[in-house]
Amino acid sequence: MNQKEFRVYNMILPIWLLLWFPSPLWLLLIPANFLLDLLVMWLSIRKEENGFAVAWKNSGKICIAGFVSDFIGMLILFGTYFWSGNVEAFEKFNYALVFNPFKHAGVVVVILISIIVSGICIYKLDKRILRKSGELSEELIHKTALRLAIFTAPYLYFLPVGWFYN
């Protein structure tokens, strides 16, 4: 009988990519994200009449906008990884991008850019959602969208996945 060789490869994914694969982690991630968006929104508009009702009504859309924005930021990291993937000079860069961003200053810059782009997307999308609701003043829409962008940007992209494998 002819036996074929069977190999298993260990695949370690960075946190910023791992978050996008369907997993039980989503059972925690989605409600936590929704509650964080709700809290930031409510704290921003709590002095308004029906502040909690307005926050509750818009939090679902804002949560989805946050995931879309985080995905856009992740695409920057994903693209950077594959753009530099086959170049030997980028070996340390890619290692830092996947395992520990603090091992390479260039990776810190790329992740900062990714987080800033995500934050800008969060701001613009949330501002649009809040404006469509028609329940807040333009000044409050700006302040709320800005707070959401600052407090809900994907800072987890800095989390070194190497901490979990050592």
pLDDT at 2: 64
Tell me the pLDDT tens digit for each residue of 86-139: 667 778 888 888 888 999 999 999 999 999 999 999 999 999 999 999 999 999
76 half-sphere exposure, CB direction, 13 A CA radius:
18
Question: What's 136's DSSP letter?
Answer: S
Give the Cα separation of 157 and 143 in Å (integer): 25
φ/ψ of residue 87, rounded to 5? -100, 120
Tell me the pLDDT tens digit for each residue of 42-54: 999 999 989 999 9
Among 148, 155, 157, 121, which Cα is nearest to 36's?
Answer: 148
Question: Is residue 132 classed as helix, strand or coil in its secondary structure?
Answer: helix
Decide if 90 contacts 64 (C-beta within 8 A). Answer: no
User: Looking at per-residue confidence, does 85 or 65 come out higher?
Assistant: 65
Give the Cα separation of 146 and 119 in Å (integer): 9
Structure tokens at 148: 């959401």
pTM summary value: 0.84
Instruction: Sketch the domain layout of the chain as residue ranges.
Output: 18-158
Angstrom CA distances, 126 to 48, 113, 119, 129, stand at 18, 20, 10, 5
pLDDT at 13: 61
